[in-house]
A and B are shown apart, each in its own frame.
Chain A
Amino acid sequence: MKMRLSLAIASLAILVVHGFVFYQQFFHKWESYQTSYFDQARTLAKTDAEREALAARSPKIEQIIVTQFGSTRVDRCTTCHIGSDDPRFKDAPHPYKAHPYSEALGDKEVGGKMERRHKFSDIGCTVCHDGQGRGLQEFYAHGEDEFWTEPMLGYVTQENWKPEYKEKLKGTEFMEANCAQCHTEKNFKSTPMVNKGRELFTAKNCYGCHRIEGISNGTLGPDLTDVGKKWNLNYLHESVVDPRANSATSFMPKFNLTDDEVKALVIFLKSRRGFNYAETTLDRYRATLNKSQPAVSDSPAPTTPVVADSVKLGEQLVNERACAACHKIGEKDGGIAPDISFEGLLKDDPWIVAHFKDPRSLVPDSIMPTFGFTDADYKSMSAYLGSLNKPPALGNAQEIYQNLCIRCHGDKGDGHGMIATYLDPYPRDFTNAGFMNSKPEDRFVNSIKNGVGGTSMPAWGKVLSDDQIKGVLAYIAENFTKEKRGEIRPRNVPEQNPVAMSIDSVARGESIYLTRCTGCHGRKADGKGANSLDILPRPRNLLNSTFVNQSTDRRLFESILYGVQGTAMPPWIDYGLTNNDVGDLVNFIRSLNQGKKDPAAMSLLVKGH
């Protein structure tokens, strides 16, 4: 009996759940919207026939199937927005409200009635608005579900978007990104934000690092050809204003952009979907045929020399190609890269040309992109930069520091200048007395006078006299280092490496390297070991040939055997390394830098990993 009773109760419960489910599945919001629309339309109807027709209609799912635009779209938006094409409902509340007519959209008055340029029955809704055409619940249809990558552009922000971005990502102008799917003309008048974003892409030198098919050929950053298809507005916005938010190792600089510029860039990027509707498959095939000669239309094309003077032409190119988006040139300052206002005094012509062609051949960890300009252009630009040889106004040591050093080393002398995060190696921290007082003054004089190869420290020899250099050093010692310099104990290290260079020695050096050094200097010896991010100054990149080759054996021995004070480099003599071990290590490090990319030397390192 007990069993029968519990069976009855359980069955009743099943019935109740069924009732709930049936209610859920059969009583839809859209049905009540449609019924209400029919009622309202009946009161507005002018003829009896119209009224009867309306009375005969019963709620059903409305849909527009669009096949012309990419993969087939099924837009059921009109199921709720059933009055969207009914001009009598132009002032009704949502969802009955009629879609407004707009001159900008090309709507025209024909015979006293407005006629749409973009007919809903042809193009549907999501082609312009985004959102989920198949959804019938507001939450899904409008794309509020965080898993829907295309919420309604300019209207809907998703819950997981950053709160501080949400307001900035609303507004009808965001829909221009979709207009540009068909209206691909460069200066289409109804998509001003896309046009502006496209201009900024060049003017802010985005093109230098990023590739967008048909626009630019940068290789340093991600390809943005279909970035609008992959990411939502939130992510695009974040990537522009805070590149490291999503990937901590990104070296994309934070550019100085106004809110409006960010918006234009985001809209432009959103409009890059790889494949737009204006393109035919034949166009795309042709583009692949012509890949050998990249059709780069937007990035500044080689300007025909309207100016005979190479320097003038160079100046024009440097301006057009937006070097000042990062560098400082006179008044213009991108706030990201070194000041090149008097480059002619710091670098010579061959260096500038070589650096243009491959910045990393001279400064291995530079973030400056390799631009694919022609040799002739490089020559002109280099000639222009070389002509910038008017020394800056200098005064006393403090003013010299303020004018020349502060950009990298910072106003507190702690190495955190405005562009420091973009430099690798990081600028020297003068407040680190442990380091500053462990090296002889000669070395600092030399670094200032001749620069430090393989880093961003230029040679100031043509700008500053020896006395001025001494003055600056004294200023640094007094204001930043502060601690008094004691006598430096000379270390007992060989001047020349006592171990002869040999394959055996390099192999021994490698095995010592792998057991002792990889934690900081990395398995690739590029200074990016597991601990490197926690350390300032960062571990040296031992593949920085310019730097390594200018360092004497004595300096390498001293740094390894006795450590580098004020840094994480320990004195390895305390950990049992002998002169011979260090000799092997030095041979190993030298072998990595013999010739630019000596395959034999590299293979020694790479083998077995």
Chain B
Amino acid sequence: MSEKKKNIFSFVTDMPAAMWSSVFRNNLPHTDLGRSKTSFNNFFLHIHPVKVHKHTLKPWFTMGLGLISLFLFLILVVTGVLLMFYYVPSTTQAYDRMLDLRGSVAFGVFLRNMHRWSAHGMVAAVFLHMCRVFFTGSYKKPREFNWVVGVILFLLTLFLSFTGYLLPWDQLAFWAITVGTAIAGYAPVFGEQIRFLLLGDTTVGQEALLRFYVLHVAVLPVIATTLIAIHFWRIRKDGGLSRPETADLVESGPVTATAEPAMAFADGINVIEKKRYGIQGLVRGPFAKVGNVPDNSVFSYPNLLLAELFVFIVTVLGVLLVSAFFNAPLEEAVNVLHPPNPAKAPWYFLGLQEMVSYSAFWGGVGIPAVEVLILLLVPYFDRGTEGVGRWFAKERLLANTLFMTFVVVNIVLIIVGTFFRGQNWEFASPF
């Protein structure tokens, strides 16, 4: 009491600190305990473990692809919400709104560019992320199900991008969706019903626009957000990112208790002696024991956080640069009677369309369905535990070769469909 009396205005001077501590609970940390508390107490940071393995931070191991996907998703959410303020999902107004965005809305064209290019970027980033996970064998036990969640997220990304493609209601949108939904119609037995369910009609029209809009801004983002949360939660529950068996071997010999403790004298208190472990110590994985194993981990704050921030800034920078110099396409308003020749689906479906040009059922439904099924089942077929956590591990030569073939074939098909197909889907040289 007496101390407080010293300064009658202390409630004013103390206010910033009081607010800070009420919001963030602790000061900017200078000690290991503080660092762990920062990660642990902050809602946005507590998704991180307090400490991460050094291997996780190796830039060339993950190339930040998962994070890039997440950040693109966040950019998409923000720009998407802003675009929603101007957009009307009506066949009579949608295109005019696009013209307004381009012509008179402040930053309108820029928002649209960011949204468009981030969407394309996200499809690519998610696919590359999947490749990374495969080539490093990271889908193996105990991460099998997270791989499955990831494959579903990849499909969701495609579907999100596809549903957004229709919304500008220009020729590009209309015919791409007409082609895309026609592919869905080739599914056996229920093909036509699926198509009708998607379009709400027999052709692409007002009902389809409304359905795609609702799917695009409400249904799919909610599902995607949920699955992303599960995806991240499982990363932690599965013991963090995969790493090679050798990452924790101590070269100097067998494990001894003399190894450096993980969390020694934080805040001047011998943590090990006190042995007060929180529930976080129960995380599954071989290295839950604190303090008595060789420890190759570092504190998430600031090591992991800085790395994440760097990936974020580079991602934003890339999107900004592309958006500043390349405008999102806007073609003629929809003309139902005048299909462009050739009418092409969005680029990531051009591989499908290329296959459809050989066989409607096999190209559009059969092969893609088998591909997705195989992708989903990969971790249950390939149960060997060798070669986890290393790029192109020798032990996984067969699996990697098969997957590389799958990747190359699909990319080649997309390139052929994008650049080498002209009128009537005949071969045409882009040069």
Determine if A101 is an interface residue (Cβ-Cβ < 8 Å): no
Overall SS of chain A's interface: helix
User: A546 CA to B192 CA in the complex, in Å?
Assistant: 45
Contacts of A21 in B (CB 8 A): 107, 110, 320, 323-324
Closest to B92 in A: A71
Task: A441 to B330: give the CA distance in the assembly, Å.
Answer: 66
Once the chains are docked, how many angstroms separate the CA of A147 from the CA of B310?
Answer: 40
Mark the stretch among B14-22, B155-163, B174-182, B311-319 that contacts chain A.
B311-319
Contact B331 A3 (CB under 8 A): no
Whether, in the assembled complex, B104 has its beta carbon less than 8 Å from a beta carbon of chain A, the answer is: yes
Residues of A within 8 A of B104 (CB): 61, 76, 134, 136
Residues of A within 8 A of B170 (CB): 147
Q: Are B103 and A140 in contact (CB under 8 A)?
A: yes
Q: Does B337 contact A (CB under 8 A)?
A: yes
- A354: Cβ under 8 A from any B Cβ: no
When distances are taken between beta carbons in the complex, the residues of chain B under 8 Å from A18 are: 320
Residue contact B320 to A7, C-beta cutoff 8 Å:
no
Interface status of B259 (Cβ within 8 A of chain A): no
Which residues from A are CB-within-8-Å of B316?
14
Asked if B337 and A20 sit within 8 Å, CB to CB, the answer is no
Query: What's the dominant secondary structure at chain B's contact region?
Result: helix
Q: Is A13 an interface residue (CB 8 A)?
A: yes
Interface size in chain B (residues, C-beta < 8 A): 31
Residues in B323-359 with C-beta less than 8 Å from chain A: 323-324, 330-333, 335, 337-338
- Verify A4–B306 contact, CB threshold 8 A: yes
Report yes or no: B103 in contact with A137, Cβ–Cβ below 8 A. yes
B106 touches A7 (CB 8 A): no
State in angstroms the CA–CA spacing of A490 and B338 once bound together: 56
* Nearest residue, chain A, Cβ from B332: A147
A594 within 8 A of B: no
- What's the nearest-Cβ distance from chain B to residue A273, in Å? 14
Contacts of A25 in B (CB 8 A): 106-107, 110
Q: Which residues from A are CB-within-8-Å of B306?
A: 3-4, 7
Question: How many Å from the CB of B416 to the closest CB on chain A?
Answer: 24
B71-111 interface bits toward A, Cβ cutoff 8 Å, 1 = contact, 0 = none: 00000000000000000000010001001101110110010
Q: Are B331 and A147 in contact (CB under 8 A)?
A: yes
Q: B99, A135: Cβ atoms under 8 Å? A: yes
- Report Cα–Cα, A76/B338, bound state, in Å: 29
A302 vs B34: C-alpha distance when bound (angstroms)? 100
> Does chain B have a CB within 8 A of A132?
yes
Distance in Å from the Cβ of B65 to the closest Cβ of chain A? Answer: 18
Pairwise interchain contact A134-B324, C-beta atoms closer than 8 A: no
Whole-angstrom CA separation of A111 from B311 in the bound complex: 72
Q: How far is the CA of A230 from the CA of B339 in the complex (A)?
A: 12
Q: Is residue A45 within 8 Å, beta carbon to beta carbon, of the partner chain?
A: no
Of the candidates B103, B313, B324, the one whose C-beta lies within 8 Å of that of A136 is: B103
Q: Are A17 and B99 in contact (CB under 8 A)?
A: no
Cβ-defined partner of B96 (8 Å) among A14, A74, A141, A148: A74
Q: Please tell me if B321 contacts chain A, counting CB pairs below 8 Å.
A: yes
Taking CB as reference atom, which chain B residue is nearest A63? B104
Q: Does chain A have a CB within 8 A of B409?
A: no
Size category of the A interface is 20 to 34
- Given A10-B317, A17-B320: A135 in contact with B103 (beta carbons within 8 A): yes
Chain B residues with CB below 8 A from A134, complex form: 96, 99-100, 103-104
Is A24 in contact with chain B by the CB < 8 A criterion? yes
Q: A74-B96, A140-B103 are in contact. Are A10 and B332 (CB under 8 A)?
A: no
Whole-angstrom distance between the Cβ of A221 and the nearest chain B Cβ? 15
| B85 smallest CB distance to A (angstroms) | 16
- Complex Cα distance A460/B330, Å? 62
Q: How far is the CA of A6 from the CA of B317 in the complex (A)?
A: 13
Contact B103 A14 (CB under 8 A): no
Most buried by A among B103, B306, B310, B317: B103
Report the nearest A residue to B98, measured CB to CB: A134
A74 vs B107: C-alpha distance when bound (angstroms): 20
- Asked if A531 is at the interface (CB within 8 A of a chain B CB), the reply is no
> A108-146 vs B: 1/0 string, CB under 8 Å?
000000000000000000000000101111001100000
Is A149 interfacial (CB 8 A cutoff)? yes
- Which of A18, A24, A74, A134 has the most chain B CB atoms closer than 10 A to its own CB? A134
Chain A residues lying within 8 Å of B310, measured Cβ to Cβ, are 3, 6-7, 10
Report A-chain residues with C-beta under 8 Å of the C-beta of B307: 3
Cβ of A551 within 8 Å of any chain B Cβ, yes or no, is: no
Q: Chain B 109-133, CB within 8 Å of chain A: the 1/0 string?
A: 0100000000000000000000000
CA distance A307 to B330 in the complex (A): 61
Question: What residues of chain B lie closer than 8 Å to A11, measured between beta carbons?
Answer: 313
> What CA separation (Å) do A21 and B111 show in the bound complex?
11
Nearest Cβ in chain B — how far from A246, in angstroms? 11
**A contact residues around B331 at 8 Å (CB):** 147
CB under 8 Å from chain A, chain B span 362-410 = none
Q: Which residues of B contact A137 (CB under 8 A)?
A: 103
Closest to B97 in A: A134
Cβ of A136: which chain B residues have Cβ within 8 Å of it?
103-104
B313 in contact with A17 (CB, 8 Å): no
Chain A residues with Cβ below 8 Å from B230 are: none
CA distance A81 to B102 in the complex (A): 19
In the complex, chain A residues 20-38 whose Cβ is within 8 Å of any chain B Cβ: 20-21, 24-26
Pair B317/A14 contact, Cβ less than 8 Å = yes
- Is A14 a contact partner of B99 (Cβ separation < 8 A)? no
Q: Does B309 contact A (CB under 8 A)?
A: yes
Is the Cβ of A14 less than 8 Å from the Cβ of B100?
no
Closest to B330 in A: A147
Q: How far is the CB of B202 from chain A (nearest CB, A)?
A: 23
A226 to chain B, nearest CB (A): 10
Which of A72-88 touch B at CB < 8 Å?
A: 74, 76
Contacts of A74 in B (CB 8 A): 96, 100
Most B-side CB within 10 Å, residue of A4, A6, A21:
A21
Please tell me if the beta carbons of A24 and B324 are within 8 angstroms of each other in the complex.
Answer: yes
B311 to chain A, nearest CB (A): 10
CA–CA, A10 to B313, complex, Å?
6
Chain A proximity of B46: nearest CB distance (Å): 22
Query: Contact between B103 and A7 (Cβ–Cβ < 8 Å)?
Result: no
Contacts A3-B310, A4-B306 given; indicate if A20 touches B324 (C-beta within 8 A): yes
A13 partner residues in chain B, CB cutoff 8 A: 317
Q: Which of A336-388 contact B (CB under 8 A)?
A: none
Contacts of B317 in A (CB 8 A): 10, 13-14, 17
Q: Which of B102, B171, B332 contacts A140 (CB 8 A)?
A: B102
Contacting residues, chain A, for B338 (C-beta < 8 A): 230
Of chain A, the residue at the smallest CB distance from B329 is A147
Instruction: Indicate which residue in A6, A17, A141, A148 contacts B332 across the interface (CB closer than 8 Å).
Output: A148
Residue of B nearest to A132 (CB): B99
Residue of A nearest to B315 (CB): A10
Q: Which residues of B lie under 8 Å from residue A17 when comparing CB positions? A: 317, 320-321, 324
The answer to whether B110 and A149 touch across the interface, beta carbons within 8 angstroms, is no
B337 touches A230 (CB 8 A): yes
- Smallest Cβ-Cβ distance to B333: which chain A residue: A149
State which residues 52-66 of A face B: CB under 8 Å.
61
Complexed CA–CA distance, A13 and B317 (Å): 7
A76 cross-chain contacts in B, Cβ below 8 A: 103-104
Are B102 and A135 interface neighbours, CB within 8 A? yes
Query: Shortest Cβ distance from B200 into chain A, in angstroms?
Result: 24
Cβ contacts under 8 Å, B332 to chain A: 147-149
Closest to A18 in B: B320
| 12 A-B residue pairs with CB within 8 Å | A3-B310, A10-B317, A11-B313, A13-B317, A14-B317, A17-B321, A18-B320, A135-B103, A140-B102, A147-B170, A147-B330, A149-B335
Leading 4 A-B pairs by shortest Cβ distance: A134-B99, A10-B313, A147-B331, A17-B320
16 additional A-B residue pairs with CB within 8 Å, beyond A3-B310, A18-B320: A7-B306, A10-B313, A11-B313, A14-B313, A14-B320, A17-B324, A21-B110, A25-B110, A132-B103, A134-B99, A134-B103, A134-B104, A135-B102, A135-B103, A147-B331, A230-B335
Chain A residues at the B interface, C-beta cutoff of 8 Å: 3-4, 6-7, 10-11, 13-14, 17-18, 20-21, 24-26, 61, 71, 74, 76, 132, 134-137, 140-141, 147-149, 230
